[in-house]
Amino acid sequence: WGARGRAYRGKHMVPVLEAVPNFSEGRDLAWVREVVRVIAAAGADVLDWSADPHHHRSVVTFVGTPPEVEEAAVAAACFARDTLDLTHHEGLHPRVGALDVLPFVPLLGLSRDEAVAAARRVAVRLADEGIPVYLYGWASDPPGRTLASLRRGGFEALRGGFPEGRAPDLPAAGAPEAPHPTAGVTCVGARDVLLAWNVALRGIELERARALAASLREAGGGFASLRALAFELPGTGLVQISMNLEAPEHVSPMDVFRAIEQAVADEGGEIAHTEVIGLVPDALVLTATADRLQLLDPAPSRLLSRRLAEHVSARGRPPSPAGPHRDDDG
């Protein structure tokens, strides 16, 4: 939404804040549907959810006024704390918490500072609920702390107590020296709209995919604001480049895609498909590019701008039940 959303500021009476929590459960769809129900019951408008069994992770996108979104975020965090156990969790994706990541995104009528304030208010409440919190992105002090620096070694690296230099920004009430024994910690942040997407490759070995991911990401001299990891998807014959592009309005997703496509072709492989986690930023795909990307589920109903417009227009009408965009991998 980005610049288009900022252009609307001052024109809408109701501010819109987005939250995109990532939970460490991607195989039990009944659990995912229940956390969606918990979020909706707290007053937020759930726009999208997806679950990935390989990463063992689910992502929910919801919006509302800051108070609505904050209440829903705390309710979801407490539900995850009470129902998920990281001591029995195994998946491809790095994680340190049952509610692993909780970013807040200002969409309409809100500034960066207001999103940071919402993130920090929720962080205080989570710590009071027994969940230690790391702050990242705009919400950290100084701003800009990355998730990679917080999730190094995963939950297992924290179980015996916080390593030196890795104490949480907000320790849990009553247990300041250690993470929650089953729910771990939560990374709470504020950021702009980003593109979270996976490109599945056929005919490429995992080590070559890892080398490609390293060359693509900003830290390896590749694309600015791009984070990339490579995984093997068991039982599929595919490997995956999993990416976050933090500035899709300034770094062309198509340039990233073409770089992957060329590198894979040079190795004798091919792109099997592309999938977007959460709603689709307009900068990624219009109708003319959906086939070019081999995009899974390119339905217009998944465009962030369209869903946001529907949310704004629906304010004041009774809410309707939210549903997923699909029940398989997301």
Give the residue numbers marked as catalytic: 93
Residues in CB range of 84: below 8 A, 6 or more apart: 23, 24, 25, 31, 98, 182, 183
Sequence-ordered list of residues with C-beta below 8 angstroms from that of 215, at least 6 positions apart, any chain:
221, 222, 263
**Partner residues linked to 227 by β-bridges:** 244
CB 138 within 8 A of CB 112: yes
Give DSSP secondary structure letters for 57-113. EEEEEEEE-HHHHHHHHHHHHHHHHHH--GGG---SS--SBSEEEEEEEEEES--HH
Q: Are strands 57-64 and 16-19 parallel, antiparallel or unpaired?
A: antiparallel
Q: Please give the sequence-ordered ranges of beta strands (E in DSSP) within 109-154, or none if there are none.
A: 133-137
Tell me whether residue 267 is exposed, middle or buried, using C-beta atoms within 10 angstroms of its C-beta: 0 to 12, 13 to 18, 19 or more: middle
96: left (phi > 0), else alpha (psi -120 to 50), else beta? alpha
Handedness of CA 197, 270, 53, 88 (dihedral sign): negative
DSSP 158: T
Question: Which pair of structure tokens corresponds to residue 264?
Answer: 């894979």
| Token couple for 295 | 């995009």
Total Cβ atoms within 10 A of residue 127? 21
Reduced to 3 states (helix: H, G, I; strand: E, B; else coil), residue 241 is strand
Separation CA 184–CA 168 (nearest Å): 11
